[in-house]
Structure 1
Amino acid sequence: MSTIPATTAVPTPVVLPLPKAILWLGGTVLLALALYYFIGIDQGATSVFGDNMYIHEFVHDARHFLGFPCH
């Protein structure tokens, strides 16, 4: 009985040049901070949109699920 050697695929890493990596990291940080603000902080005196509570009401359940107090 002969055995057939198994071929293994070797993964190749994705290499990004440093300027492109910095842009991706900066964009990710900005997106994360925006999400954190809108889900966790946007209400009352800290609201960017004034007295409108539309964003607060839209993410209300997510605030409770993630443990942010809102009332």
Structure 2
Amino acid sequence: MAQPAITPAPLAPPPVAKLPARAVLPWAAFFGLLMLVLLYFVGAEQGALSVFSGENVHEWVHDGRHLLGFPCH
């Protein structure tokens, strides 16, 4: 059996960049609020809880509503 003349050095793990919580928290709050607004429009924007009159929002999110399991008919 032939052995290599030079043995490869073990690879060092890549440096891990740590983000401070103060930098992440505002973005997490923003995206959390955005997700709640989107969930409202997909799940509850019709009938008595409607913010906009008419069926326009309902028609725009109709397929997403069925995909997520919300009843609408």
TM over 0.5: yes
Q: TM-score, with normalisation over the residues of structure 2?
A: 0.76
Q: Note the residue ranges of structure 1 that are not aligned, 5 or more in a row.
A: none
The percent of aligned pairs where both chains have the same amino acid is 47
**1:56 aligned residue (46, 55, 58):** 58
Quote the RMSD (CA, aligned, Å). Answer: 1.9
TM-score by length of 1: 0.78
More helix by share: 1
Query: Highest relative contact order (Cα 8 Å, sep 6+), 1 or 2?
Result: 1
> For residue 17 of structure 1, what is the aligned residue in structure 2?
20
Alignment length, in residue pairs?
Answer: 70
Larger radius of gyration: 2
Task: For structure 2, list consecutive stretches of 5 or more residues without a partner in the other structure.
Answer: none
